[in-house]
Amino acid sequence: MKRPTIHDVAAAAGVSRGTVSRVLNGDRYVSTAARLATERAIAETGYVVNRNARSLVTQRAGSVVMVLSEPNEKIFEDPNYSTTIRTAIRRLAARDLSLVMMIAGDAGDRDRVLRYVKGGHADGVLLQSTHAGDPLVEALEGLRIPAVSCGAVIGMENVIPFAACDERGGARQMTRYLVEQGRKKIAIITGPMDTPGGIQRLEGFTDELGRRASKKLIEHGDWTRLSGEQAMARLLERSPDLDAVFCASDVMAGGALATLRAAGRRVPDDVAVGGFDDSDVAMSTHPPLTTIRQPLAEIAEETVRILLDLIDGAEQVESVTVPTRLVIRESA
């Protein structure tokens, strides 16, 4: 029981291979009679085009690869990925492109991705959580394949287009809110300093605080809950009188809350806590987190749109920054 080929369809429709191909690809020059006959034959035979054969001659892959470059396994729990993946699948499917997932944690992984792309098996690359200095990015750049990042790649902002939320602006929103609430000694727990979320959320924080910002009130985390707990402990030890902390992610804020509770601090009475992301943990903590909402679906949509533009041959594309929104709950 072999799969029907374009020949079978052609025979069933009483036309030639070429005509079937033209119908398949929406070519203008095909008579209505031929088109109808072909369409019926396709339906009757249950014909499905063989993408391999097509790709072989067109030199187009018909797929896009999403590369998850997260060296730290733990962080993959990040619920944000799900939204991005889902959105990407949908948008690409509308263009009959499939989404292939790859991981680029270590050198071996990166090599695999590179070979895949070099083999011409992807029409574009969607970068996800790429850290500064990732060798993969330069390698991809050399291959001249359309590549877009979901969130900026630090140091590569002008070479890899991206869509991202206004990290800096969002951080300013939160910081300003904490100030407005009368908080005097505001600390921050940042993300890794080789990611846009790490760097730019800190920038927004210091931007807003001006010379009131103090090095003593800055601690670094790695996005994980545990790192949030530990950073909070360090902050409390160094500055027991702090009255607010802005955590660069909700997950880290969850950790900070636990440390604060263990230290007997009431939230928000003694210490206000602000998060970032508005992921689902923000609703589950006690008290629920006041946080910065980043429209992940929209960011994913834009990322894919830019990639499609590039695949379609756009010379120059603009990176996109979408605004964030302050979501006030109970922690601040």
Partner DNA sequence: GGAGTCTCTGTGAACGTTCACAGACTGAAA
Partner DNA sequence: TTTCAGTCTGTGAACGTTCACAGAGACTCC
1 in contact with DNA (CB under 7 A): no
- Residue 223's nearest CA partner among 183, 246, 180, 255 is 255
Helices 135-143 and 107-118 cross at an angle (nearest 10°) of 10
Instruction: Please identify which residue in 31, 82, 214, 284 interacts with DNA, judged by CB under 7 A.
Output: 31
Alpha carbons 165 and 299: distance in angstroms, whole number: 7
Minimum distance from CB of 89 to its own copies (Å)?
Answer: 5
Site track 58-87 with DNA (rule: CB under 7 A), x = hit? x-----------------------------
Which residues from 76-115 bind its own copies, rule CB under 8 A? 76-79, 81-83, 85-86, 89-90, 93, 98-103, 109, 112, 115
Binding mask 226-265 for its own copies (x = CB under 8 A): -------------------------x--x--xx--x----
Please pick, from the candidates 1, 26, 56, 180, the single residue that binds DNA as defined by CB under 7 A.
56
* DSSP letter for each residue of 20-80: HHHHHTT-S---HHHHHHHHHHHHHHT----HHHHHHHH---SEEEEEE--S-GGGGG-TH
Q: Considering the rule CB under 8 A, would residue 3 count as an interface residue with its own copies?
A: yes
Question: In this complex, which beta carbon is closest to DNA, that of residue 6 or of residue 154?
Answer: 6
| Distance in angstroms (rounded) separating the CA atoms of residues 321 and 61 | 29
Lookup result for tokens 């993969």: 136
Q: Residue 331 in contact with residue 274, Cβ under 8 Å?
A: yes
DSSP state of 154: T
Residue 218 vs 258, nearer CB to its own copies: 258
CB neighbours (10 Å) of residue 28? Answer: 5
CB 166 within 8 A of CB 321: yes
32 vs 316 by CB, closer to DNA: 32
Residue 148 interacting entry, from its own copies, DNA, none, C-beta within 5 to 8 Å by type: none
Residues that bind its own copies (CB under 8 A): 3, 46, 48-53, 55-56, 61, 63, 68, 76-79, 81-83, 85-86, 89-90, 93, 98-103, 109, 112, 115-116, 118-121, 225, 251, 254, 257-258, 261, 280-281, 283-286, 288
